[in-house]
Structure 1
């Protein structure tokens, strides 16, 4: 099946910051931990595998970095079963950036596919909401930690 016809999660948001600042927020875990995961084994670099952790849920994921085009695109593979995630960046002005996250390559079918698409759509939307709050207003909303409080530590 051609890529454009594969089931794909797609989430997007305009962030009122420069493209370089928004792009760097996904490369550098010192920034990303302010709105998404809580710990990382390192910065994203092509060919590198890093581990992202969500310590409140006792969960981690191995991230294989497939492609980085500075200020344009980051492609990773993650999860089990493995899926691909593209983070695409477009400058709208000098101080606003449009971010699109696409997640595809799902092996699930039927109700399982619907469930994973629903969960990943909500998850990536939450990531973009947290990114916007942090970069534009300096606020750490703790959205990921509060998403499933019954699963996390208090």
Structure 2
């Protein structure tokens, strides 16, 4: 058996048009209502931006790849071990009022570190999608306070 690479793949339908979903993902002001605490700028092709998360110290660089209006967003960021990871977000309209958001993140080796990454980030992307859905459909920020227990001062 060969040591195949690990990929994450998850999807969820959001009851909003693709354009509205796309804007909520590329605009840091909107994204701060469900995912990040702040971003240095919109996700534009070829740009490097930074994201800050409420539960982590520091800022995380995001190198934006290809962006297709209302359809597709890709970017690279670094895993905890420094491995460059590719994230792809596909938006598939379902009629005029719903969009399936599919997220793929890749890749890590099929070993203990890779399995830990796969478990953690699969849960993270499922949470991202649930938070995006709650924000767009109901105006609710599910992430607010959800990860306060992970902050360094909460570890004491």
Instruction: Note whether the superposition's TM-score is higher than 0.5.
Output: yes
Q: Secondary structure at the match of 1:99?
A: strand
Residue 95 (structure 2) aligned to one of 86, 93, 107? 93
Q: Secondary structure at the match of 2:46?
A: coil
Deviations 1:56-94 (A, max 9, x none): 321421000110011111000001321000000000110
Contact 1:85 1:101 in 2 (8 A): yes
Matches of 2:146 and 2:31, distance apart in 1: 17
Asked whether 1:50 is paired with 2:49, we answer yes
Question: Where in structure 2 are the equivalents of 1:22-41 lying within 5 Å?
Answer: 22-41=21-40
TM-score in terms of structure 1 length: 0.89
Shift, 1:147, TM fit: 3.4
**Shift in alpha-carbon separation, 1:119–1:91, aligned structure 2, 3 A:** same
Counterpart position of 2:71: 72
Contact 1:57 1:153 in 2 (8 A): no
Question: Which portions of structure 1, spanning 4 or more consecutive aligned residues, are displaced by more than 2 angstroms?
Answer: 150-154
CA RMSD of aligned residues (A): 1.7
Matches of 1:147 and 1:101, distance apart in 2: 22
Question: Where in structure 2 are the equivalents of 1:1-154 lying within 5 Å?
Answer: 6-79=5-78, 80-106=82-108, 108-142=109-143, 145-147=145-147, 149-151=149-151
How many residues in Structure 1 have an aligned counterpart in Structure 2?
148
Matches of 2:46 and 2:20, distance apart in 1: 23
Contact 2:74 2:86 in 1 (8 A): yes
Q: Secondary structure at the match of 2:132?
A: helix
Matches of 2:105 and 2:10, distance apart in 1: 9
Contact 1:56 1:153 in 2 (8 A): no
Matches of 2:99 and 2:28, distance apart in 1: 19
